[in-house]
């Protein structure tokens, strides 16, 4: 089996599952368009068709059941009520799970699968229930051999002579079937003699050109089995009068037919030939229903696995036509190579600019104009490449609907997920790595956030909890919000747990925001016992780590009785960012522009002391703690160096801080080079970059520098106490 075709199948499955989910969600939301139902039916049907080609029996069986129920709906024989929609949604989830197992391996939850199958069966009318998917394609010789239709010692099948009488009905001629081609197919099987019988041809005057007058008497000597001879006439069954008489023993024939009947008899396809047009004249002598042709001259018993044997495809065969909107499928690796090259191009540009600046030439204006053009082009290319990697969050969000359904089912709560901003585009890697954190947050929201239906009712809320998952672009970042309308963070309890676990001192004074953010503290878990749902022994700190690992931040805000909101802010891209190049104790460093509110040069009268060695910067009457970057990174200044420039930065929690640096050089785009695996994690440093002069510069992480600053912490406590009083 060609891997590439199977890959295509799984890729296509993703799209089809998405379409299914989307359709079901629309129906759940009150969509009554018949085309929506049709689209879902087609999607599930395509999954089944493809799965059949690859012998994925579990998937085929499930898809078939699913599809059959949908066919009932489509035909208007069944009403789509709330209960059925829920079942279909869960079935769609299961279908995804089966696709995943087929692709990635793993175990199917048999019990769950069987439960859903049984539930689907209840919607399938009796007579349709046996429309079992026929696992055997046309021309699958294996089962024939298994059934012993081929004589027991198949090594040298006996030659047999068949006398065939073939008389097409006039109906056959409209179907594109040509007697000549049928004879050709027979000729391939052995010695063939064909004799035209034109006895029924009337005189010219009596001839009706739409009638069929001709018949053929055929003699075929072949080693092929009778069923293979019959298979040649499969398409004209019911469109002709046909008799096939073997000279051999009639008993074997009868046995073979009986075996076939046994194999194929179903309530709606009785053993009798289902000849549609057999009313005229004699009924065809032979049932054609089991199509069992095999063009191979020798039908050896084949192992069962071969029955769905698929084309020996050359890999890399491309389709000749795309969909209505032409798209190009490119290996991700190629795009990444391009992104790397663009990164190098940007670095190269800065190097070139630096070289030109260093040249001893009086007039560089022309060169600089061209260089500016170069820069703009490089940026265009970069944006273009980034756009290739960017994908809408829609598929991710749709998967999340499933998580919420599962979690609701497991906790006995009713929740619905409302997605907002599904078309927001985010870097592919970010999307991939967001899946786990989002799953965790959503399970948490259902498990801990949303109240039980009765509690919600008592609180005057709708029984159905609503969780809103939204995505939006916000000034160079992506903002993902998960907002539930549950009870909000139980602050006294969270604080209590944090004290019990020794995360905070007993007498700690914390703002509401800080208490909420304790949820992200390592080792914190509010579940009294690890629930099998959101618990799983992992806390929200894992979520936080995953988000910070993407260069993002996460924050929670909560209103008691109204619900909680998790906000995740992520960089648009993982490869390039705008940074401010600064120097700190002779080192060149880069601070992400997105975190800088303003910059200023400080004078002595702006600086005030706080405690033993803390300092505050006074800005327009407000005090902001100063955090010396050199100090927090453990760098030492020469005596003549001084931190005289301040970068005012604001954290996600609204805490402001002035980062003290020696000087600001430039603002430019830098290529982010990960330090992972090079030197481990350095507090205060997010990554590194290569500057125009070829030197490596650290990219700072203001958030963690502030978090580590004792002045900032002390000031923050003070600020809060003064706020409280």
Partner 1 sequence: MKTKVLAIDDSRTIRNLLAATLEEAGFEYHCAVDGREGVDMYPDVDPDVVITDINMPNLDGFGVIEELRGTGINSKVPILVLTTESAPELKSRARGAGATGWITKPFDDASLIFALKRVTGAAA
Sites of contact with partner 1 (CB under 8 A): 2, 4-5, 8-9, 11-12, 38-39, 41-42, 45-46, 48-50, 52-55, 131, 133-134, 137-140, 174-178, 180-182, 184-185, 188, 231-232, 234-235, 238-239, 268-269, 274, 276, 289, 291, 293-296, 307-314, 317, 319-324
Select 231 or 568, whichever has its Cβ closest to partner 1.
231
Tell me how crowded residue 118 is: count the other CB atoms within 10 A of its CB: 10
Select 235 or 374, whichever has its Cβ closest to partner 1.
235
Which element (helix H / strand E) includes 717?
helix 710-724
Closest approach, Cβ 189 to partner 1, in A, equals 11
Closest approach, Cβ 51 to partner 1, in A, equals 8
Select 321 or 528, whichever has its Cβ closest to partner 1.
321
Closest approach, Cβ 183 to partner 1, in A, equals 9
Say if CB 444 and CB 432 are below 8 A apart.
no
Closest approach, Cβ 677 to partner 1, in A, equals 38
**Which are the contacts of 465, defined by CB distance < 8 A and separation ≥ 6?**
413, 414, 415, 416, 446, 449, 450, 451, 456, 484, 485, 486
Select 195 or 321, whichever has its Cβ closest to partner 1.
321
Select 15 or 380, whichever has its Cβ closest to partner 1.
15
Select 126 or 640, whichever has its Cβ closest to partner 1.
126
- Identify which of 612, 647, 122, 112 has the alpha carbon closest to the alpha carbon of residue 410: 112
**Which are the contacts of 617, defined by CB distance < 8 A and separation ≥ 6?**
602, 606, 607, 608, 623, 624, 625, 626, 646, 658
Select 8 or 704, whichever has its Cβ closest to partner 1.
8
- Identify which of 287, 289, 286, 294 has the alpha carbon closest to the alpha carbon of residue 165: 286
* Structure tokens belonging to residue 234: 């499969």
Closest approach, Cβ 325 to partner 1, in A, equals 11
Sheet holding 160-168, edge to edge: 190-197, 215-222, 160-168, 240-246
Closest approach, Cβ 525 to partner 1, in A, equals 44
**Which are the contacts of 225, defined by CB distance < 8 A and separation ≥ 6?**
144, 149, 150, 157, 256, 299
For the stretch 18-24, contacts whose Cβ atoms lie closer than 8 Å and that sit 24 or more positions apart, written own/partner, are 18/394, 18/395, 18/398, 19/43, 20/44, 20/92, 20/95, 21/89, 21/92, 21/398, 21/401, 21/402, 22/398, 24/85, 24/88, 24/89, 24/92
Query: In which region does residue 148 sit, left (phi positive, over 0), alpha (psi from -120 to 50) or beta (all else)?
Result: left
Closest approach, Cβ 355 to partner 1, in A, equals 50
Closest approach, Cβ 531 to partner 1, in A, equals 40
Select 232 or 438, whichever has its Cβ closest to partner 1.
232
Closest approach, Cβ 157 to partner 1, in A, equals 17
- Angle (CA) 178-183-184 rounded to 5° is 95
Say if CB 38 and CB 12 are below 8 A apart.
no
Select 97 or 140, whichever has its Cβ closest to partner 1.
140
Which element (helix H / strand E) includes 58?
helix 57-74
Cα Rg, the chain, nearest whole Å: 37
Closest approach, Cβ 94 to partner 1, in A, equals 20
* Structure tokens belonging to residue 244: 């096939």
Give the C-alpha separation, 230 to 272, whole Å: 15
Cα of 211 vs its chain's centroid, Å? 57
Give the C-alpha separation, 239 to 169, whole Å: 5
Closest approach, Cβ 400 to partner 1, in A, equals 26
Select 49 or 560, whichever has its Cβ closest to partner 1.
49
Closest approach, Cβ 232 to partner 1, in A, equals 6
Instruction: Give the position of tokens 């001259």.
Output: 297
Phi, psi of 184 (to 5 degrees): -60, -40
Tell me how crowded residue 412 is: count the other CB atoms within 10 A of its CB: 8
Tell me how crowded residue 104 is: count the other CB atoms within 10 A of its CB: 8
SS3 percent helix, strand, coil of the chain, rounded to 5, is 45, 20, 35
Closest approach, Cβ 663 to partner 1, in A, equals 57
- Identify which of 154, 197, 174 has the alpha carbon closest to the alpha carbon of residue 302: 154
Select 53 or 108, whichever has its Cβ closest to partner 1.
53
Closest approach, Cβ 393 to partner 1, in A, equals 24
Closest approach, Cβ 5 to partner 1, in A, equals 5
Select 269 or 388, whichever has its Cβ closest to partner 1.
269
Instruction: Give the position of tokens 């405690």.
Output: 611
Select 277 or 718, whichever has its Cβ closest to partner 1.
277
Select 47 or 705, whichever has its Cβ closest to partner 1.
47
Select 313 or 458, whichever has its Cβ closest to partner 1.
313
Instruction: Give the position of tokens 């931190």.
Output: 643
Say if CB 197 and CB 164 are below 8 A apart.
no
């Amino acid at each position: 089996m060609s891997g590439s075709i199977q890959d295509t199948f799984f890729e296509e499955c993703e799209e089809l599952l998405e379409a299914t989910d989307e359709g079901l969600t629309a129906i759940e939301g009150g969509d009554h368009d018949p085309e929506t139902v049709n689209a879902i039916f087609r999607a599930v049907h395509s999954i089944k068709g493809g799965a059949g080609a690859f012998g994925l029996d579990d998937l085929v069986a499930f898809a078939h059941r699913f599809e059959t129920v949908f066919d009932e709906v489509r035909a208007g024989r069944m009403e789509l009520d709330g209960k059925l929609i829920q079942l279909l949604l869960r079935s769609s989830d299961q279908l995804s799970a089966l696709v995943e197992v087929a692709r990635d391996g793993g175990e199917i939850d048999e019990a769950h699968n069987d439960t859903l199958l049984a539930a689907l069966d209840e919607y399938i009318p009796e007579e349709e229930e046996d429309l079992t998917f026929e696992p055997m394609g046309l021309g699958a010789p294996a089962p024939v051999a298994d059934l012993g239709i081929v004589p027991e010692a198949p090594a040298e099948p006996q030659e047999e002579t068949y006398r065939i009488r073939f008389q097409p009905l006039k109906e056959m001629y409209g179907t594109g079937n040509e007697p000549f081609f049928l004879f050709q197919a027979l000729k391939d099987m052995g010695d063939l003699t064909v004799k035209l019988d034109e006895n029924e041809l009337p005189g010219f005057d009596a001839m009706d050109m739409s009638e069929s007058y001709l018949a053929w008497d055929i003699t075929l000597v072949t080693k092929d089995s009778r069923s293979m001879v019959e298979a040649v006439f499969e398409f004209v069954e019911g469109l002709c009068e046909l008799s096939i008489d073997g000279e051999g023993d009639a008993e074997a024939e009868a046995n073979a037919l009986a075996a076939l009947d046994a194999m194929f008899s179903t309530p709606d396809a009785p053993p009798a030939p289902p000849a549609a047009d057999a009313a005229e004249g004699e009924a065809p002598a032979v049932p054609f229903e089991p199509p069992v042709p095999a063009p191979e001259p020798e039908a050896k018993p084949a192992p069962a696995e071969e029955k769905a044997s698929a084309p020996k495809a050359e890999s890399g065969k491309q389709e000749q036509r795309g969909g209505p909107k032409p798209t190009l499928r490119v290996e991700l690796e190629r795009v990444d190579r391009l992104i790397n090259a663009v990164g190098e191009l940007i670095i190269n540009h800065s190097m070139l600019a630096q070289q030109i600046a260093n040249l001893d030439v009086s007039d560089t204006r022309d060169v600089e104009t061209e260089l500016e053009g170069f820069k703009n082009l490089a940026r265009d290319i970069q944006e273009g490449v980034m756009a290739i990697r960017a994908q809408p969050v829609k598929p991710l969000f749709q998967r999340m609907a499933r998580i919420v359904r599962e979690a609701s089912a497991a906790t006995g709560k009713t929740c619905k997920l409302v997605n907002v901003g599904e078309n927001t585009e985010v870097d592919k890697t970010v999307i991939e790595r967001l899946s786990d954190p989002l799953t965790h947050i959503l399970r948490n929201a259902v498990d801990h956030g949303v109240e039980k239906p009765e509690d919600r009712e008592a609180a005057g809320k709708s029984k159905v909890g609503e969780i809103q998952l939204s995505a939006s672009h916000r000034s160079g970042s992506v903002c993902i919000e998960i907002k539930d309308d549950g009870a909000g963070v139980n602050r006294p309890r969270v604080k209590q747990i944090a004290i019990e676990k020794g995360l905070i001192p007993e007498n700690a004074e914390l703002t509401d925001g800080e208490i909420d953010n304790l949820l992200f503290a390592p080792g914190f878990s509010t579940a009294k016992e690890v629930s099998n749902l959101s618990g799983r022994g992992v806390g929200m700190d894992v979520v936080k780590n995953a988000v910070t690992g993407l260069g993002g931040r996460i924050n929670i805000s909560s209103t008691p009785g109204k619900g909680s909101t998790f906000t995740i802010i992520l960089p648009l891209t993982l490869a390039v960012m705008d940074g401010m190049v600064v120097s700190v104790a002779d080192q060149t460093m880069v601070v992400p522009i997105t975190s800088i509110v303003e910059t200023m040069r400080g004078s002595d009268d702006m600086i005030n002391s706080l405690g033993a060695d803390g300092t505050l910067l006074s800005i327009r009457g407000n005090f902001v703690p100063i955090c010396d970057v050199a100090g927090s990174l453990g760098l030492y200044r020469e005596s003549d160096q001084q931190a005289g420039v301040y970068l005012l930065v604001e954290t996600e929690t609204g805490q402001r801080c002035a980062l003290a640096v020696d000087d600001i050089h430039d603002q430019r785009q830098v290529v982010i080079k990960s330090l992972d695996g090079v030197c481990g994690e350095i507090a205060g440093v997010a990554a590194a970059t290569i500057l125009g002069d070829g030197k490596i510069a650290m990219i700072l992480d203001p958030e963690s520098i502030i978090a580590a600053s004792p002045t900032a912490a002390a000031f923050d406590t003070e600020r809060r106490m003064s706020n409280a009083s």
